[in-house]
Amino acid sequence: MPPLRLAIVGVRHQHIFALLQEASKMKKEVEVVAICEENTKTRLAYQESGKIKITHSSIDAMLASTPCDIIGIGDYYGRRGALAIQSLRAGRHVLADKPLCTTLAECDKIQDLAKKTKLKVGCMFGLRWIGAVQLLRKKIMDGAIGQVRTINITGQHPLLLKKRPGWYFEPGKHGGTINDIGVHAIEAVQWLTGGSVVEVTGARVWNGKASATPWFKDCAQFMVRLSNDVGVISDVSYLSPDAVGLGKPQNWRIIVHGDDGVLECNSLEPNLTIATSKDKKPRALKCPANLESTYLMDFLLELKDEPRPFQLTTPYVLRTTRVALQIQHAADLNKSFPFTIK
């Protein structure tokens, strides 16, 4: 069977290069046939650097001239929903960097098109592939701390005001910190426990650091309840010092309390900590290496109709996206809480 043909639209966020790297390791399954970048400045910069070969300057031209099965989307956040809709209308599957889109109207349209066309929609959710998070889930599923009751998950990021691409801080192009970073936390707690977000207890976004861009709400917190009655508190602010960036041990920190113990992991630390009613002191458990076969493998398995447990399927991706957008929207409008997820 020939490899599936992957075309990339937008390289304005570095995450798309992770998809290109994954594809390069799976050449028997997928072939990159085109890379489109519509922004002239970005396109010329990559052409001059020689890092990648840009083949098209317009998605319209690419779709018309290049046979492909999958569109990988990595443009600025506010453009992704429209690109996903256009790709689905053109009969292509979609695999996007997160966030998939920035409005509920776009999410509705993507969902409707995916259902009508039976095309698949994937998203580059990455926390579940981290070795520490893999071990955390195993211990939860093994009942190591009894029934899970609460989760505290933080994803502090550096602001990098002078290093991030300019569009990041332009009104209308980012879409919100909860939809950008918080969606990872939402996806992770659902995967860790097997529950779904059903209620939003509270959410807040505000400008706490980026004084030069007061419209950019760089601080975000939210509280949700899962269908298994697990309570979740999350902080996904841009308050990590620029000097240490994503290298700080607490980039992603997850604390899970059960009725018989507690688990804690940091995404960049080698050990997970556990303490139960049988332990006189906390124990350190060595974490496995990060997994290499990630969201692209899940996506290809769904295309082949070869599901595996807790896979990143189209319905799951779309519901997780919808949850993040509803929380973001509520925080933006300072909505009354609690409210039920639709």
221 contacts 193 by C-beta, under 8 angstroms: no
Locate the domains of the chain by residue range. Answer: 4-124+297-306, 131-291
Q: The tokens of 16 are what? A: 């798309």
Two tokens at 337? 């809480």
C-alpha–C-alpha distance, residues 246 and 15, integer Å:
14
211, with CB counted inside 10 A (0-12, 13-18, 19+), is exposed
- DSSP states along 158-174: B--TTTS-GGGGSTTTS
| Residue pointed to by tokens 């002239």 | 40
Q: Are 222 and 231 in contact (CB under 8 A)?
A: no
Hey, what are 82's tokens?
Answer: 């429209």
pLDDT at 245: 75
- Out of 181-185, 213-217, 285-289, 308-312, pick the least confident: 308-312
Q: What percentage of the chain carries pLDDT values higher than 70? A: 99
pLDDT (tens digit, 9 = 90+) per residue, 47-92?
A: 899 889 999 999 999 999 999 999 999 999 999 999 999 999 999 9
Is it the case that residue 246 has pLDDT exceeding 80? Answer: no
According to the model, what pLDDT value does residue 309 have? 80
| Domain boundaries 131-291, CATH class | alpha beta
Mean pLDDT of 309-337: 95
pLDDT digits (tens, 9 = 90+) for 118-154: 999 999 998 999 999 999 999 999 999 999 999 999 9
Lowest mean pLDDT among 88-102, 212-226, 301-315: 301-315
**Structure token digits, residue 122:** 């994937």
Is the pLDDT confidence value at 97 over 90?
yes
pLDDT at 317: 97
Interior angle at CA 156, CA 154 and CA 161, nearest 5: 160
pLDDT of residue 282: 97
How many whole angstroms separate alpha carbon 127 and alpha carbon 295? 10
pLDDT score, position 252: 94
pLDDT for res 307: 77
Inter-helix orientation angle 77-89/104-117, to 10° = 20
Q: What is the distance between the alpha carbons of residues 6 and 35, in angstroms, rounded to a whole number?
A: 9
Name the region of 131 (left: φ>0; alpha: ψ -120 to 50; beta: rest). alpha
SS3 call for 287 = coil
Q: Which amino acid is at 320?
A: T
Residue 218 pLDDT exceeds 90: yes
233 Cβ contact partners less than 8 Å away, ≥ 6 residues apart: 150, 151, 152, 153, 221, 222, 223
CATH level 3 topology of 4-124+297-306: Rossmann fold (3.40.50)
pLDDT at 6 over 90: yes
What share of the chain has pLDDT > 90, as a percent? Answer: 87
pLDDT band at 320 (very low <50, low <70, confident <90, very high): very high
Kindly state the tokens that stand for 68.
Answer: 């492909």
What sections of the chain are H helices per DSSP? 16-24, 40-49, 59-65, 77-89, 104-117, 131-141, 177, 183-193, 295-303, 314-332
Do 14 and 75 form a contact (C-beta atoms < 8 A)? no
Give the model confidence (pLDDT) of 159-209 as tens digits: 999 889 999 999 999 999 999 999 999 999 999 999 999 999 999 999 999
**Residue 268 CB partners (closer than 8 Å, separation 6+):** 247, 248, 249, 251
- Residue 276 pLDDT > 80, yes or no? yes
The amino acid at 253: R
pLDDT above 80 (res 249): no
Q: pLDDT of 9-28, one tens digit each?
A: 999 998 999 999 999 999 99
In the prediction, which pLDDT does 293 show?
Answer: 64
Residue 104 has pLDDT above 80, yes or no: yes
Q: What is the average pLDDT score of the chain?
A: 95
